[in-house]
Structure 1
Amino acid sequence: MRILFIGDVVGKIGRRMLNNYLPTLKKEHAAHFTIVNGENAAHGKGITERTYKEILNAGADFITLGNHAFAKREVYDLLDQDVKMIRPANFPEGTPGDGYRIVNVNGNKLLIVNLQARSFLEPIENPFKVIDQILEKNEYDTAFVDFHSETTSESIAMGYYLDGRVNAVVGTHTHVQTNDASRLENGTVYITDVGMTGFKDGILGIRKDEVIRRFVTNLPERHVVPDEGKGVISGVIIDTDAKKIKNFKIEE
């Protein structure tokens, strides 16, 4: 199976980049299934029903989320519907939505899992124990994990922890693509962070002036996600049969 995964879509520019480039990327790489992280799709924080549909209309087959999954109130009801979207599986019991899903891709049972790390993020359930439970109680042919993590160490630890148990572990959240796409010792393909899809000439998809001013003054600043400007789209293409992963980044 060939999986195309697109990292953190940020705001209007990120959605525009999906519309402009995703159809070509799917065709170029002959992708069987496309997954997009959409937790920042609605003006840089959270996702709405409208942006959810916009991502699917751009060509995504499925959407994963992260620590901003519930930034927009309307997503509570949306996640409890039959949607092609999951939130981190280690959110507390009773949280709306599902943390994993098994989908049929040409007769292949693809397990898609979304997990959130805990270092410098909310102290939710232990993702290492939660993924153990998911893998133990489900039958699948291929397993893909989106690990939404703040630190490289926790991401790498998860990669090694799942090496040989799942087909792919890809990192999201930091919005900076890492240069370590590789196959681990026991065959799992891995990357610490896929990178973001959004405003190129800023800081993590945000206008740079406010971010710099906050570092200089140590005072609160409103983060501005531009609606116009040059964009970037970041992702990976994963061949589960050949156990290969290749990262890419396209800039305007």
Structure 2
Amino acid sequence: MDFSALQTFLSTTVAELAVKVLASIAFWVIGRWLIAKVVALTQASLNRSQVDATLSKYLGSIVAVALNIALVLGILGYFGIQTTSFAALLAGAGVAIGAAWSGMLGNFAAGAFMLVLRPFKVGDFVSVGGVVGTVHELGLFATTLVTPDNVLTTVGNSKVFGDTVQNFSALPVRRVDRTAQLAAGVDPLDAIARLRAAVAKIPNVATNPAPDVALLDMNLNGCVIAVRPYTHTANYWQVYFDTNEAIVRVAKEAGWPAPMPAQVTHIVQG
């Protein structure tokens, strides 16, 4: 056995393989850096063109996936692997993976439909898939929300698209629903006038439509007054809490007694 020839072959092969591995690592690092730059420039260009933030992020995700696949194919081609054979293998694997990951493909399709139908956009306050929050991102497979208690929550696009979508930011104002329970003997018409005047002074309450203050119901405690001001979604909780404070303040200033269940006692003598 010619050990010198074997040694020369191994040293040459190992050296070439080491160069290719190092070059592949360099290609991967530089390629990923360039992909990030391209995606950032693409989204910046779309933002300058005043394209909706939801669409720009969605297109950025698609560009990133496509460029990463191209990068992997390029590295494989550098190693001498026939990319056409790899593409055929990838297509065959894609069928099997598609059958196994039908849920993921459903999320992708739902995201595409939502991008076209536009039931909401980034920054809207919505209720989707049983989650209430502000839309942070509409991704390829999932929608990310920030809930009112500041928790980042991810919901699959298929669940979002297949369930009821409530967009609280679509209209200029939304209604705040509160009630005032009166004690028996308190004049409801006087209470309505006092509450209507108090609610009108709350900051950020819309004048059109005007707040709804009316007799809602009657029970054993007395009359129930509906207090329903309108405001922009951004001011909802401020108006909600201020309305509660206004109801308490009006009751205190008017000297209304605390509502108590009315009881009637009948004494029957035998």
TM-score, normalising length: structure 2: 0.18
Structure holding more strand per residue: 1
TM-score, normalising length: structure 1: 0.19
Structure holding more helix per residue: 2
